[in-house]
Amino acid sequence: MKTTVGAIAAMVEGRLLRGDEAHELTNFAALDQADASCVSFFGNAKYREQLERTRAGLVLVPAEVEVKADHAGALVAVANPILAFDQIVRAYGTLPPPFVVGISAAAYVDPEATVDPEVSIGPNASVLRGARIGKGTRIGAGAVVGEGAVIGQDCAIGPNVTICQGCLVGDRVILHPGVVVGADGFGFEFVEGRHRKIEQLGIVRIGDDVEIGASTTIDRARFGETVIGEGTKIDNQVQIGHNCLIGKHCIIVAQTGISGSTRIGDYVVLAAQCGVAGHLTIADRVTFGGRSGVISSIDEPGGTYFGYPARTLKEDRRDAMRVKQLGNLLKRVKDLESRLGHAEE
């Protein structure tokens, strides 16, 4: 990367508030790590102190922000600093390898698989009997597309992804390295002192424009389908159990676990390390804070919940305040006991 303040301002259609248009920029970084050669951005009010202290050569800011006068770097006002910075990173960052049509000589494609001529299949990938892959899809090295699995158009299937037999993947889906789609659900029946396996013979259906992070596992249904709705984004190391129905445009953050047969509505947010019990129903647009434990259904849409068991934000803050007051309460009780003891004497 080698550019100038003026060139960056023009690229993001920003307005130069302060600084030298000719100042050279060669990198990008967070506010607290940037130096005079870097582009950075201010997109969250909690980083206000970092904005005041940054040594960045250029900072993208909202039009209404005020910055102390002794800040040495340039300031460029944009409508959305986060999106503008993303545009710069896409232009100058480390990009994935270009899409190259073709099947590696080291890949295996079963003669009974249907593969569009305009796909890319990396070395040591396997496409098994009856599988179908749509136009413009990339299959990474070492990935496995199981028997009868279907992948739509313009998908990016990362290295070592496994899409098990019969599972269905929509268009423009991104599966990061190590994702497993369609592993057996965790189903056992305790009979005569032993855990007897219950067969998991359903599939997973993934809607269009879904993105799933590295090493996430989505279990196949015991019967019917486990469903991930259109536009949903799932972080790394998430576990979704058999027969779950996840709605459209949800956000599910790292290390969250969702037990089997739970139904989650549209636009639901599960922050990091949430745990959701099985056979529950969660209404649309509900948000759960990090490490929430969801053990009962939530029927009212739009609420925000925290804690274990998950409760409304108001209830959680009230209970947290009561816990903080326990020390003072205990001291008061001891003082009262001491006074009563002296009075009895």
Residue 341: which region, alpha, beta or left (left: phi > 0; alpha: psi -120 to 50)? alpha
> How many angstroms from the chain centroid is the CA of residue 84?
21
Q: Catalytic residue positions?
A: 242
Handedness of CA 86, 90, 92, 96 (dihedral sign): positive
Spatial strand order of the sheet with 281-282 comes to 114-115, 132-133, 150-151, 168-169, 203-206, 225-228, 245-246, 263-264, 281-282
Which of 61, 55, 64 has its CA nearest to residue 27? 55
* H-run or E-run covering 17: strand 15-18
Residue 251: which region, alpha, beta or left (left: phi > 0; alpha: psi -120 to 50)? beta
> Is residue 252 a contact partner of residue 232, using CB atoms and an 8 Å limit?
yes
Question: Which amino acid, one-letter code, is at 249?
Answer: H
* H-run or E-run covering 23: none
